[in-house]
Amino acid sequence: MVELDPPTERECQQCGRRDVWDPDATGWRIESGARAGNAYCIHEWDINGTYRPIRE
């Protein structure tokens, strides 16, 4: 059986903003106590090609 394993947190590699997944809102939110980051940053998230979203 194959199961999806989506990310639950992410961090911008440029401005340091940290977000966590909010399942109730079905969206990302800025982590409590974390910097909001740069409003003009395009956010280069740390989720890349090494991340495997499928569990077997």
Domain boundaries, the chain: 9-47
What pTM does this model have?
Answer: 0.69
- Find, among 7, 39, 35, 34, the residue nearest to 21 by Cα: 7
| Non-local CB neighbours of 38 within 8 Å, separated by 6+ positions | 14, 15, 17
Whether residue 47 contacts residue 18, with contact meaning beta carbons closer than 8 Å, is answered with no
Residues 2-36: tens digit of each pLDDT: 787 788 889 999 998 999 999 899 888 888 776 77
pLDDT at 34 (0 to 100): 67
d(CA 56, CA 50): 16
* pLDDT > 80? residue 55: no
d(CA 2, CA 56): 5
